[in-house]
Amino acid sequence: MAYDHTEIEKKWRDEWRKRGTYRVENDTTLPKYYVLDMFPYPSGAGLHVGHPLGYIASDIVARYKRHSGFNVLHPMGYDSFGLPAEQYAIQTGQHPAKTTEENAARYREQLDRIGFSFDWSREVRTSNADYYKWTQWIFLQLFDSWYDPKADMARPIAELITRFEATGCQGQDAEVLTGDIEEAIGPFTAAEWKSFSERTQQMVLQHFRLAYLSDAWVNWCPALGTVLANDEVKDGVSERGGHPVERKRMPQWSMRITAYAQRLLDGLDELDWTTSMKEAQRNWIGRSTGASVRFALSPSPSPEERGMRSEVAPARAGYFTADPAIAGRLMAHANSMRKNPTDAEDKLWQLIRGKGTGEKIRRQHIIDRFIVDFVSLPKRLVIEVDGDIHDLQKEEDAARSIRLKELGFDVIRFTNDEVYRDTHQVRDKIKEVLSKRTNVAEEEKLAERTDVEAATPLPRRGAGGEGTSPSPSEKGPGVKGIEVFTTRPDTLFGVSFLTLAPEHELVQTLTTATQRAEVEAYVKTSTNRSERERQAEVDKVSGVFTGSYAKHPFTGEDVPIWVGDYVLAGYGTGAVMAVPGGDQRDWRFAKHFGLPIIAVTEGADIEKAADERKDAVICSEGFLKGMQVPDAIRRATEELEKLGAGEGRINYRLRDAAFGRQRYWGEPIPIYYKDDIPYPLPESELPLVLPEVDKFLPTETGEPPLARAKNWTYSPLHRRGAGGEGSGSPSPSEKGLGDEGAYPLETTTMPGWAGSSWYFLRYMDPHNEGRFASPEAINYWQQIDLYMGGSEHATGHLLYFRFWTKFLFDRGWIPFDEPAKKLVNQGMIQGVSAFTPVVHTHKAFLHNSDRNGAKAPRFLVSKGRIPQFQENAASDELTSIYKENNPGFPEIQIEEFQATSFLNQHVPIALVDDKDRLNVSLFNDWRSQHAPDEQYRLFLELDGTFVCTREVEKMSKSKFNVVNPDDIIEKYGADTLRLYEMFLGPLEQSKPWDTNGIEGTSRFLKKFWNLFFEGDVLSVSEEAPTDAEQKVLHATLKKVTEDIGKMSFNTSVAQFMIAANELGTLKCHKRDILEPLTIALAPFAPHIAEELWSLLGHADSITTAKWPQWHARFLEESNFSYPISFNGKTRLQLEFPVALSKEDVEAAVLANPEVQLRLEGKAPKKVIVVHKRIVNIVV
């Protein structure tokens, strides 16, 4: 009977479905094994042959483990929220849910055809509300948690509040602060905490929550209309689509992954992941040890020089780090100023509040880094009432106005006197100005945004606001100066200047009047430059002097402070101590601006370059002179600590992860705003279902698409959902929120990585309605034993995945803190692309010729004729064609006709045969469909064929090199496809797909099938196997068993081939051989194995069969054929009994006449005999 893959595979697909063969129970009596493939995004393009590679490998392991007595969890589902479906929705108006559904159905169909043992009853999709309910729930847990560095774990935020109420946040306790704000928040007492308004308290808490709202620099991608996480940006463009990305500051939900930096690093040590994967994560986390060094400011320049109040600068200078604390204080201050307005302010407020001017006016509002007295956000008008103090700071006010102007605000000022004299007149004046101003289209957005800003203590906000004169606690000992981070404190004596990032918050403060214009211009241009531009110009040195000086902590000398964009705002403190003698970047900066370069290490040639060696001796003057670098680092750190000018410090490159997306197709963030402060939706309100919208675009005012939804609000007293029915009584906490009505809901949605950060847990218990997964299920299944997926997820998914797992562990929801014990990356299967060389017409025609409107077809040149073209031999031919096509251009001067340069144009690989010959008629058909308007000419070989070129590259639709598994399956069957993908080479390696090779595995299956048949009749004998047959069987079982353990599937397939070939030669049709072999083959080729199994008379599925053990006794040989080598070169083979001792082998070898002949009578210097291996004779 011939092997009919189509019929067999269909039969067993149906049968498996019917029988529920792959259904997995949470059966706790069996040992468990959890095999997981990385979550696929169901793209519209469907699967190509590269996608299933990892799935096949993991399926083999899953099936093998099942044969070996494990209860195996091997689920599949879809990461079904994401940008492509949404982009498609924007273009076509199709709801992303619909496209996603269709794509998933197509994926399912394709996956089913390959014969995977997935338990589809456990399928999860991130876009299903019963799934994302729990994604939202986890978000709420993150929002409700802070990271306690003392316990080194996440804790409920309630504990923090209790602590604040009891002891405030002081001294040692201030260390509790994590991440960006670690050092920034000023201490406060319990009493102060209690006196804070609800608003202020919530803002302080934002600094601690693991999911928090802040104003942050983000990667904004205008083309995608959303922010991107760092790992989604590659080389300054978006990973998806390659759109430019710019830096932008905006309110943003973030995840405090930085709190976990050290644990994410440490955890790697115990994981069985590839080194490259671990290295990528280590790199991304980027831990570096060094010291923080504080440079006090040199005596401040006079107020005139500085252009601002002298007391502000040093005080502010105490708050040098990325500085939410100041903002926190600023807000608190703004609040208190609202409560304690000046008389004039209050007088005016009473008139203009409410609808007094026809516009909503806010008072004491933070804009950028200033608190303004009054503002109309929609009309972008700032109203200032100046007290006497302003007379002293005209210049600062001017600077402030400039900054506000940049942001689109105009400022009108009134003096106290004016207000006192006639408040109404002032009001009318304001009304008049307001009425002339156009309402900024983004009214709503702006109002919200700035409110959020105001509600959020912002990093790097600080200096400059009037009335923010520092409290006593901000002055005094707290004043530290400029803090820098360095990994080389040993080079401190080589510091010749400091450099601040242009975004550094002290730049404004430190800039002297004379330098102001230059600095501001510089800061402006460098912040406006896109990331890409900045990256492209890394070799360009730029910077500007602020005019100020800092004090060297050891020498006390004045060190000039510069601004330079080679310093990154986001790393360390955004400031560096420049050691041009020891750091190449500093060196280039110093060279460029003629700053002094001090040699720090012995033997350095500082004229040529900085010396960055770490195995050197310090030579700069000072107490470190003569010390080895590592010793000097230690000593310098100690000295800094003694002086209170710094301390040892560890820095991470890892940034907090941007979490919100200004997009529709994602999980809604379960947050509502009351008084602009984010509050968590009560758990009972989950899931917060993604609302329907009329369009999937941002609103006219630039708000995310969710803002289009009707009633996108939350009313504590009226339950959301299901038409307001069953309005259960609100919980006490809900009551506490008051009943003012509907609060706006958050309009950004979660990023793609949210749902995929915990999906492995849901598979354990996918239908649980009361918990993300039951503790029983989690305790049983535990961690993933084998996680299979692409290495491109090294710094994105896999880091967040580990982060959420650690978090859930901290809060006691799961009993382990790493998701996947073993990780294997399958390589990429590349495509083979075919190209037709095309004459580069610009080179050919446009040379020195007037060519307006001239047309020419594309000249496609067969590979073999290229040399002829390059020698210009075809130019007459081309010229005539060119003239033919341009009858209106009789006088075209084709001065020099050269077709020396060729471009490669993709053609579908399917149109090219295995000798690279193009099927011209199919090609013509394809062209007429694909580019009907474009003319072309083919230049054939002399034999009339057209030969293409080939290249291996990524498999993708646009390169016309995609091979669809469906086609392969139709022709050869799924089992052949599975075997071939495994046979192609080592799993981890990337390799090109070449369909030609598939014949080999296809033949193998036929041969294997034929072992069971004689002619057309099933013929399996019950005869006892011979030793030779047993040897084939057991050698195969041994090899395959060992290879599966090593995930070396290509060699196991080769071994199956050897077995089939040898058993074929032996004409073996014996059950005792074939049956175990069939079980061993089952994980690789499940359909044919299942069919043969049933033909062997089994009613049960082969998947329940026990894995056959191999026995060494069948592999024992009585003789071994020793290779006899002379000086390591094998010359002959001699067979001896295995039992023969080394000495006997040696004697026998030397006695051999051929060996004697080769020795030419000389005695060998040495004879090495390795038992059952080799004999080497040294002569």
Partner RNA sequence: GCCCGGGUGGUGAAAUGGUAGACACGAGGGACUUAAAAUCCCUUGGUCCGUAAGGGCCGUGCGGGUUCAAGUCCCGCCUCGGGCACCA
User: Taking CB under 7 A as the criterion, which residues in 454-513 touch RNA?
Assistant: 484-488, 501
Q: What is the rounded CA–CA span in Å between residue 286 and residue 886?
A: 62
Shortest CB 984 distance to RNA, Å:
4
Shortest CB 534 distance to RNA, Å:
6
Q: Which of residues 32 and 802 has its CB atom nearest to RNA in the complex?
A: 802
Q: Which of residues 46 and 1123 has its CB atom nearest to RNA in the complex?
A: 1123
Of 646-675, binders to RNA (CB under 7 A) are: 651, 653
Q: Which of residues 390 and 1007 has its CB atom nearest to RNA in the complex?
A: 1007
Of 174-233, binders to RNA (CB under 7 A) are: 230-231
Non-local (6+) Cβ contacts of 1106 within 8 A are 67, 69, 1079
Of 551-570, binders to RNA (CB under 7 A) are: 565-568, 570
Q: What is the rounded CA–CA span in Å between residue 785 and residue 61?
A: 11
Q: What is the rounded CA–CA span in Å between residue 1086 and residue 15?
A: 12
Measured in degrees and rounded to the nearest 5, phi and psi for residue 482 equal -100, 130
Shortest CB 1126 distance to RNA, Å:
9
In 350-454 the beta strands, taken as DSSP E runs, fall at: 362-367, 370-376, 381-386, 410-415
Of 225-284, binders to RNA (CB under 7 A) are: 230-231, 234, 275-276, 279-280, 283-284
Distance from chain centroid for Cα 309: 45
Of 366-385, binders to RNA (CB under 7 A) are: none
Strand-strand pairing, 823-825 and 786-789 = parallel
Q: Which of residues 649 and 661 has its CB atom nearest to RNA in the complex?
A: 649
Shortest CB 663 distance to RNA, Å:
22
Of 1054-1073, binders to RNA (CB under 7 A) are: 1054, 1057-1058, 1061, 1065
**What's 1119's DSSP letter?**
E
**What's 146's DSSP letter?**
E
Q: Mark out the alpha helices in 1068-1139 (DSSP H runs).
A: 1071-1081, 1086-1095
Shortest CB 530 distance to RNA, Å:
13
* Region class of 1134: left (phi > 0), else alpha (psi between -120 and 50), else beta: beta
Of 892-921, binders to RNA (CB under 7 A) are: 914
| Contact pick of 774, 949, 956, 1051 for RNA (by CB under 7 A) | 1051
Contact letters for RNA, residues 1140-1169 (x by CB under 7 A): --------------------------x-x-
Distance from chain centroid for Cα 975: 35
Q: Which of residues 681 and 823 has its CB atom nearest to RNA in the complex?
A: 823
Distance from chain centroid for Cα 971: 38
Q: Which of residues 593 and 936 has its CB atom nearest to RNA in the complex?
A: 593
Shortest CB 1004 distance to RNA, Å:
6
Contact letters for RNA, residues 1009-1048 (x by CB under 7 A): ---------------------------------------x
Q: Which residue from 48, 57, 15 is spatially nearest to 825, judged by alpha carbons? A: 57
Q: Which residue from 1064, 1086, 1084 is spatially nearest to 1012, judged by alpha carbons? A: 1064
Q: Which of residues 914 and 1022 has its CB atom nearest to RNA in the complex?
A: 914
| Contact pick of 538, 689, 873, 1018 for RNA (by CB under 7 A) | 538
Q: Mark out the alpha helices in 811-953 (DSSP H runs).
A: 841-845, 866-870, 875-885, 920-930
Omega prior to 687 cis, within 30 of 0: yes
Q: What is the rounded CA–CA span in Å between residue 468 and residue 330?
A: 7
Q: Which of residues 654 and 671 has its CB atom nearest to RNA in the complex?
A: 654
Shortest CB 1039 distance to RNA, Å:
10
Q: Which of residues 574 and 789 has its CB atom nearest to RNA in the complex?
A: 574
Q: Which of residues 487 and 886 has its CB atom nearest to RNA in the complex?
A: 487
Shortest CB 274 distance to RNA, Å:
7
Of 806-845, binders to RNA (CB under 7 A) are: none
Instruction: Give the range of 5-13, 538-546, 858-866, 928-936 binding RNA by CB under 7 A.
Output: 538-546
Compute the chain's Rg from CA coordinates.
Answer: 37
Shortest CB 920 distance to RNA, Å:
21
Q: Which of residues 17 and 1003 has its CB atom nearest to RNA in the complex?
A: 1003
Shortest CB 913 distance to RNA, Å:
10
Q: Which residue from 834, 939, 860, 844 is spatially nearest to 894, judged by alpha carbons? A: 844
Q: What is the 3-state secondary structure (H, E, C) of 216-276?
A: EEEEEECCCCEEECHHHEECCEECCCCCECEEEEEEEEEECHHHHHHHHHHHHHHCECCHH
Which secondary-structure segment (H or E) carries 1033? helix 1027-1046
Contact letters for RNA, residues 1072-1101 (x by CB under 7 A): ------------------------------
Shortest CB 587 distance to RNA, Å:
10
Q: Which of residues 98 and 234 has its CB atom nearest to RNA in the complex?
A: 234
Q: Which of residues 341 and 1123 has its CB atom nearest to RNA in the complex?
A: 1123
Q: What is the rounded CA–CA span in Å between residue 1057 and residue 1050?
A: 11
Of 27-46, binders to RNA (CB under 7 A) are: none
Q: Which of residues 707 and 1053 has its CB atom nearest to RNA in the complex?
A: 1053
| Contact pick of 66, 362, 585, 719 for RNA (by CB under 7 A) | 585
Report residue 241 as tokens: 């689509």
Of 1106-1135, binders to RNA (CB under 7 A) are: 1121, 1123, 1125, 1127-1131, 1133
Shortest CB 1006 distance to RNA, Å:
6
338 touching RNA, by CB under 7 A = no
End-to-end CA distance of the chain: 60
Shortest CB 282 distance to RNA, Å:
8
Number of other residues whose CB lies within 10 A of the CB of residue 180: 22
Work out the angle at residue 1090's Cα, subtended by the Cα atoms of residues 1085 and 1092, and round it to the nearest 5 degrees. 100
Shortest CB 823 distance to RNA, Å:
13
SS3 849: coil
290 touching RNA, by CB under 7 A = yes
Size of the site for RNA (CB under 7 A): 86
Contact letters for RNA, residues 976-1015 (x by CB under 7 A): -------xxxx--xxxx-x-xx-xxx-xx-xx--------
Shortest CB 187 distance to RNA, Å:
27
Q: Which of residues 268 and 1054 has its CB atom nearest to RNA in the complex?
A: 1054
Shortest CB 248 distance to RNA, Å:
16
Shortest CB 654 distance to RNA, Å:
9
Of 745-804, binders to RNA (CB under 7 A) are: 791-792, 794-795
Shortest CB 848 distance to RNA, Å:
35
Q: Which of residues 255 and 761 has its CB atom nearest to RNA in the complex?
A: 255
534 touching RNA, by CB under 7 A = yes
Q: Which residue from 590, 534, 535 is spatially nearest to 559, judged by alpha carbons? A: 590
Q: Which residue from 327, 132, 321, 81 is spatially nearest to 213, judged by alpha carbons? A: 327
Q: Which of residues 731 and 1127 has its CB atom nearest to RNA in the complex?
A: 1127
CB 1061 within 8 Å of CB 1041: no
With both helix axes pointing from N to C terminus, report the angle between 513-528 and 394-406 in degrees, rounded to the nearest 10: 10
CB 490 within 8 Å of CB 624: yes
Q: Which of residues 433 and 1150 has its CB atom nearest to RNA in the complex?
A: 1150
Non-local (6+) Cβ contacts of 193 within 8 A are 164, 165, 168, 169, 201, 204
